[in-house]
């Protein structure tokens, strides 16, 4: 059974004037224990909204449909009420810009202790010891827990945020751009840390990023999102070498390649508006291989290998 399975997840946001923005339009994901899945796509495609929905952390202006299964149990069914007992204890998150997510007037340690005490895992001296262990786990010495966030470097704060996410030993970790705004050396450290932690603790991890090389490096599988939907999902190798969806191919072409000879090419155009219903394939206006059915018919789910799926009209790869 999958540690985390997301089935047909939709998110809408209320707009002024009774209109709606369909930010996430039915995505499916499945992760086994210890598996790392990359969720990639350009800014505004719904990556962060999707994982916030999995955490049940959307604002009151959002409405949600679909299922989020944790070990086969739908934790989204009752909204916030059914989500609350699992949040942070079973499914935890490293927020985007997590290094700025600390309260500047409380010590780092006390902020890691907070979820421990809230979840009733440890308190007092035991919680302090556990906080120390958590910091050691991410490579920060235990006695630093009495320091304030401003006394930490950016990379250390990022690692402390990961320690905070791991506090209640969750089964699933959602990491929203955990390495953005860090220099490459620290980026590599954080990535190594996340890979090591998922291997050692058997965590399932969703790594949200727009950095494709990062995903290839850290994840076995990836899902490419476009305009609130999953364009293609498969192993990172398949996505790189045999993409089924032109968007995936163009995304890789837009990424500088260390060994590559080809010039970096951008994708012209912009994603469609999500406050109006899309007809056909949302990528068709920007697609270099669009043909007749793309503009009118929703592309079917096509599969090349087991587990390698794409929503595209093209047969035989992009």
Partner 1 sequence: MSPQELAEAVVPATADTRRRIPLWGFLKGHPQAAIGAAILVVFALVAILGPWLAPYGPREQVGPIFGTPSNPHPLGLDDAGIDILSLLIYGARITLIVGFAGALVAVVVGGTIGIVSGYFGGRIDNLLMRVTDYFLVIPDLVLLIVVASIWGRSLRNIIIIIGLVYWTFMARLIRSQVKVVRERAYVKRAQALGASHVRIITRHVLPQVLPLILAQTVLMVALAIFLETAISFLGLGDPNAPSWGRMIENAFDRSAISYGAWWAIVPPGLAVAIVIMAFNMLGTAAEDALNPRLKVSHLLRRHFRMRPLPDREDPR
> Footprint of partner 1 on this chain (CB under 8 A)?
8, 10, 12, 26, 53, 56, 58-66, 76-80, 298-301, 311
CB of 298 to partner 1, least distance (A): 5
Cα 234–215–167 angle (5° rounding)?
Answer: 110
CB of 270 to partner 1, least distance (A): 23
CB of 47 to partner 1, least distance (A): 17
CB of 97 to partner 1, least distance (A): 16
Which of 281, 264, 262 minimizes the C-alpha distance to 272? 281
Q: Which is nearer to partner 1, 46 or 132 (CB)?
A: 46
And the tokens for 26? 């039915």
CA atoms within 13 A on the CB side of 16: 0
Q: Which is nearer to partner 1, 66 or 243 (CB)?
A: 66
The gap between the terminal CA atoms of the chain, to the nearest Å, is 32
Q: Which is nearer to partner 1, 53 or 194 (CB)?
A: 53
Q: What is the DSSP string of 112-155?
A: HHHHHHHTTS--HHHHHHHHHHHHHHTT--GGGGGS-GGGS-HH
Q: Name 292's Cβ contacts closer than 8 Å, sequence gap at least 6.
A: none
Q: Which is nearer to partner 1, 76 or 204 (CB)?
A: 76
d(CA 260, CA 263) in angstroms, rounded, equals 8
CB of 177 to partner 1, least distance (A): 21
CB of 160 to partner 1, least distance (A): 23
d(CA 133, CA 263) in angstroms, rounded, equals 47
| Phi and psi angles of residue 14, each rounded to the nearest 5 degrees, phi first | -70, 135
Q: Which is nearer to partner 1, 12 or 252 (CB)?
A: 12
CB of 261 to partner 1, least distance (A): 36
Q: Tell me the torsion sign for CA atoms 310, 314, 315, 318.
A: negative
d(CA 116, CA 260) in angstroms, rounded, equals 47
Q: Which is nearer to partner 1, 76 or 193 (CB)?
A: 76
Q: Which is nearer to partner 1, 81 or 259 (CB)?
A: 81
Distances in whole angstroms, Cα of residue 89 to Cα of each of 123, 147, 163, 203: 15, 25, 13, 12
């Amino acid at each position: 059974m999958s540690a985390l399975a997301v089935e047909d997840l939709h998110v809408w946001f209320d707009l002024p004037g009774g209109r709606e923005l369909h930010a996430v339009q039915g995505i499916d994901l499945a992760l086994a224990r210890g598996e790392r899945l990359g969720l990639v796509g350009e800014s505004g495609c719904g990556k962060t909204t999707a994982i916030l929905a999995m955490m049940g952390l959307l604002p009151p202006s959002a409405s949600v449909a679909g299922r989020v299964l944790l070990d086969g149990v739908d934790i989204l069914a009752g909204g916030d009420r059914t989500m609350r007992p699992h949040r942070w204890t079973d499914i935890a998150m490293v927020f985007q810009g997590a290094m700025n997510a600390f309260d500047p007037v409380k010590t780092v340690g006390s902020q890691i202790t907070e979820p421990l005490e809230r979840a009733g895992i440890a308190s007092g001296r035991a919680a302090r010891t556990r906080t120390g262990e958590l910091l050691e786990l991410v490579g920060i010495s235990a006695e630093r827990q009495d320091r304030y966030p401003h006394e930490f470097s950016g990379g250390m704060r990022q690692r402390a945020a990961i320690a905070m996410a791991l506090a209640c030993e969750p089964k699933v970790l959602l990491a929203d751009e955990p390495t953005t705004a860090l220099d490459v050396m620290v980026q590599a450290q954080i990535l190594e840390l996340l890979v090591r932690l998922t291997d050692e603790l058997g965590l399932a991890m969703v790594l949200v990023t727009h950095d494709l090389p990062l995903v290839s490096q850290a994840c076995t599988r990836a899902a490419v999102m476009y305009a609130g939907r999953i364009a293609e999902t498969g192993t990172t190798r398949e996505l790189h070498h045999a993409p089924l969806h032109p968007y995936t191919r163009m995304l890789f072409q837009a990424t500088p390649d260390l060994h590559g000879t080809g010039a970096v090419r951008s994708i012209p155009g912009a994603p469609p508006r999500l406050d109006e219903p899309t007809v056909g394939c949302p990528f068709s206006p920007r697609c270099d291989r669009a043909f007749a059915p793309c503009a009118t018919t929703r592309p079917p789910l096509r599969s090349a290998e087991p587990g390698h799926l794409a929503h595209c009209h093209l047969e035989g790869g992009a």
